[in-house]
Every structure is written in structure tokens, then in C-alpha cells.
A and B are shown apart, each in its own frame.
Chain A
Amino acid sequence: MTVQDKKTAADTATRADALGIAGLGLAIGSGEDAVPLLDGVTVRVGRGETVGLVGESGSGKSLTARSALGMFPRGARATGSVTVGGVDVLAAGRAALRDLRRTRASMIFQDPRAAINPVRRVGDYLTEGLRARGVPSREAAATALDLLEQVGIRDPRGALRRHPHEFSGGMLQRVVIAGALSTGPELLLADEPTTALDVTTQAEVIGLLKGMQRTRGTGMLFVTHDLDLAAAICDRVYVMYAGRIVEEAAGTALFSAPAHPYTKALLEASPSVHGDRTEIRAIRGRPRSLAEAPSGCAFRDRCPLADDDCAVAVPAVRAHGTSAVACVRPEEVTR
């Protein structure tokens, strides 16, 4: 870890952050055949902060979240920088990455059943990470019991001895959350953690997740396709489209003043239960991945405001109101 001693003053600021991704680019292959996946992605999650990463399929939101753990698709090359609690993820070796995943950052996936080994008991699952860190098994068991209580599992002692299939999806996601928090991470990466759950269960699990995060001061990157959910629970939200960040805004500002045409279009396309019944407005075309996106602004082939300026270059991110937006004419969006 001698590299870190030579960090500049600018990096000291990011070291305080739970997650700092700056100018992250990701591509599979090299030369002309390279398939680009991410381009210039910059995401910051402060300690104890909840940050949303919103996008449709192909936007690269999950890839971005996984990069925090150094998990890249096979054959992918990453450029830019990714730091978790000051640790340089892209430069980290195998051992350092393992240590990072064990102690500093945990991930929760969409499908809890896919995340837990179905033939092992829940107790094994929860104590595994602790024991790998050298915690004595008796102590690990006590911690696991305590965690299950905290995530609201009834009869936690009995739950330790049960298998994953004996739990409902919502209860199992609680177990996964307990497992993710068992190592006391600085960063929690939640990749669509409630998408597979019923709405009422989602509310419960979100409540639990927020509560646990608040008391522990864990930073959370919350990946979702659900704009309403992100806006409801996140301090800040990044909107991704085709492998790039197109807007960064405070959770509440996203709804009241979307600055990017894509964000606005998403809002207009989503039916809502609140307020008066309004017509939804569909966005033409389909979401693109970076490799399929047009030159310049990736959204321009679907954007109602696009003209020739949008094809010139990828719009630079600039401040607009309280948001930061990658659009050449955000004034026309908020008008």
C-alpha cells in the first residue's frame, strides 16, 4: 500500500468518500473490435450517504456498481479510477480485492435466492464471511444471531439452522442484508435489491435497509430502474443512459426539475398513482447500450429536442440549477 502515501491533496478528499469513481471507461477487447460498455462514468458516494444510480437496460448501471468491487466482465479493460474507502480498486491485486470485498464493500443482488447457496444453512451463510476474517466461530454465531434480530427475522435462533428455501423472498433478502452488513462495510452496493419483491415487502425491506444504513453510517449505492424509488430514498441520484451519466441531481429535484431530456422523458413515460390522471408520453425507439448508441449525445435519436449540435460531440457535464447535466440545452428541458 505504499502507492497511497504519494497521493495528492485532491485525493485526500476522495479518501473520505465511501466510493469514488472518476472517469471510468470500460471496454471489451481492444483496437477496432473493442466493444465499449462505459464511458467517463463519475460517481461519488459519501460516508453514510444514499446515492441512486438509475437507468434502463443497457445503461451500464450494474456494471458501474460492480466496478466498485473490481468485478468486471471477462476480457474487459477499465480506465479511469475507482476507489473504495481510499483503496484503489483498479490497481488492487487479488489479495487486496478479496480483502476489499470481505471488509470494506458488500453487495446485495436482485434475487436473494441466487445469492445464497441453497444447500447451506442460513447460519453458515452469515458466519462464513466473519470466519474467513478469523473471527472465532462462537463469536461469529453470536454476531449472526444479533444481525438476524436487527433485520427483523422472527425466531433468529431457529432461523440460523434453517435452509434458504424455508424463507420467503422478502425474508431471505433480509438475511442477505444481514450477511452484507455482517462485516461492517463502509460501502453497500444494492443492485435492484427490491425489484423481485412485492410492493409492500419492498417498502419493508427499504425501511430496514435505510435504518441499518443510518445507524451504521454506511454509504449506499442504490441501483434501480425505478425513478420513483430512487427519488424517494436517495440523497442524490445519477441517471445513466447508454453507458454514460447524463444527469446528477438531488433526489427531490429529479422530479420537480429534471434537467436532461432523458430524465424528463422517463418521468413523462411513467404512469403515476399520485395527483391527477395524466396522459403518459412514450419515448420513441428503445434504450441503447453504449456500443449501439449514435455519435455525440447518445440520446439524440430519441430526443424531441435534438438537432445538429447534439451530433457534434458527447455533451460535457455542466451545472444547471442544482443539477449537473450532460446536455447542450438543458434550459429548454426545464422550461
Chain B
Amino acid sequence: MTSEPVLAVSSLVKRFGDVTAVDGVGFELMPGASLGIVGESGSGKTTTARILAGLDAPTSGTVLLDGEPVTGRSRRARLRRARLLQMIFQDPYGSFDPRQSIAASIAEPMRLHLPGTAADRRARVAELLDQVGLSERAGASLPRDLSGGQRQRAAIARALGIRPRVLVLDEAVAALDVSIQAQILTLLDGLRRDTGIAYVFVSHDLAVVRHITDTAVVMRHGRIVERGDTERILREPRHPYTRLLLDSIPVPGWDLDRVARDRRALDPSS
């Protein structure tokens, strides 16, 4: 393993008309590391993830994958980016072609990115299904016949198929039941340990981010307001917004007055 970051983002800006969705975001991700991007709606966390995956083009700023910039929409650039970085979406049902079996969906990116015969792909699909804890029968099903948790496992299998170095997970467990969410988080933990893949974990949920990441950035209004080790951020938040986020999490004996105080501290005008 090199000591070079596998993903390096600097001065990322994205404007939609007059609105600046992402404003000077930068971070680095080492191979096998896990970085959380925490924020609420409108924080720019999802736009950042979409830029990483090439779904939106940044207005300015650079994204380096494995030390080389990814730019442009040419076929070569597109393939190189996808080869190194894959994305998992919040809605696992929507992210599959409803007419295609799970196994066929998992095999499809391999056809694009990897050499090999149909038999090779079948073997790899079987291996992947096993790796994410899906049965062969689940592989033969259509997306609508699987439960939410199974679909998210399938989405992970599909993303892992071409052995990317980075996985961007955009609210990947937010739509799942608590008991299923725990299964997926456990699966993700294991995969990172076994394969050395790196995660960019985008979420509004600090508890989940605490579990799955080593370091994190907190975003608000398109900017990073705090960054550091995830544990440190939770124990000694430095930015008033991080404090507000933490105090907003319900807990027995929840102090709503303190939340109101945090809000005034953050934005004295309101």
C-alpha cells in the first residue's frame, strides 16, 4: 500500500445558477480509510458525493483519484473514474433496472470494465453474492422480489464487482429498518477490513457516521465547518453547528432548551 491518498479533493465549488451548493470543499482519503461527510439537507453533502461519482461536474476545483485528476466527460475519463470509484445510493430499489435479475445487474459493470468471459463473470457474481450474504436464489430474482436490506446488499455487490478503490455511500442505510441497518453496517465493516476498500460515507446520522468512519467533515451551507477524527468531533465539538447537531439527537432526558441555546449561539439574529 502506498501512502498516497487514493482520493484527494481540493477547493471544490459547485454553483447552480446563483446558488452555491458546494463552496471550497477539500479533503483527502487514504487507501482503506473511511471518511464521513455529515450534514443536513442543503449542506452540499450529496452534491459533493455526486461530483465524486461524476454525476455532476464541479464549477471549479479538482478531484484526484490515485494521484491523477479526473476531468472531462470523455469515455476514457468516465471509465477510469468508475473503475476506481463506485457509488451506493440511498434507495436500493430505485438503483436497479426493474426488468433485470439481480445477478445480471451485478454482472453488467464487469462487462464494461473487466476482460473475461461470461463464465468468468458468472463465477465472480456467485463469489460476490456470497460475500454480501445473498443466496443464489436472491441473485436470480428481480429487484422487486427482494427486501430493502437484500437490495442494498445487492447494490454493494454490484459496486464491488470491479474492485474499485473507493466506495461513495450516499445515505446508504438511511432508508432501512434499524435491525437491517445494523446488518448492512456490519457487512460494510467486514468488507473494508477484508478488501482494503476506502469509504466516503455521506450521512445526516451522526451515530451511524461514528460507527462506520475514522475521520469526518461536517458541512453546512456548502462549506466544511469542522473536520477531524470522528470520535474527537463527537466528544469535543468545536464549531457551534456541530454542537447543535449533537444536541439535536434525542436521548433520554433530552434538553430542548439547550438545543435552542445552541441555535442562538450559532445564529444570534434568530
Contact = CB atoms under 8 A, between A and B. Distances in A.
Given A270-B182, A280-B211, A286-B149, A200 B40 contact: yes
A271 B210 contact: yes
A251 B253 CA distance: 10
A251 B234 contact: no
B40 A233 contact: no
Nearest to A206: B256
A89 to B, nearest CB: 29
Contacts, number: 106
B207 interface: yes
Contact of A287 (B41, B177, B245, B256): B177
Interface string A40-61: 0000000000000000110000
A272 B249 CA distance: 10
Contact of B245 (A56, A200, A269, A286): A200
B84 interface: no
B149 A203 contact: no
Interface string B36-76: 00001100000000000000000000000000000000000
Given A202-B248, A228-B251, A271-B211, A56 B206 contact: no
A294 B182 CA distance: 23
How big is the B interface, by class? 35 or more
Of B185, B249, B250, B253, most buried by chain A (CB within 10 Å of CB) is: B250
Given A233-B254, A286-B147, A280 B249 contact: no
Interface in B202-220: 204, 206-208, 210-211
A169 to B, nearest CB: 8
A265 interface: yes
In the A-B complex, the 6 residue pairs with the closest CB atoms: A269-B182, A232-B250, A198-B40, A282-B182, A271-B211, A283-B179
16 contacts: A57-B177, A199-B248, A200-B245, A207-B260, A225-B177, A228-B250, A231-B250, A232-B254, A233-B250, A251-B252, A266-B179, A272-B210, A273-B207, A277-B211, A280-B182, A283-B182
Interface of B: 40-41, 147, 149, 177-183, 185-186, 204, 206-208, 210-211, 231, 234, 244-254, 256, 259-260, 263
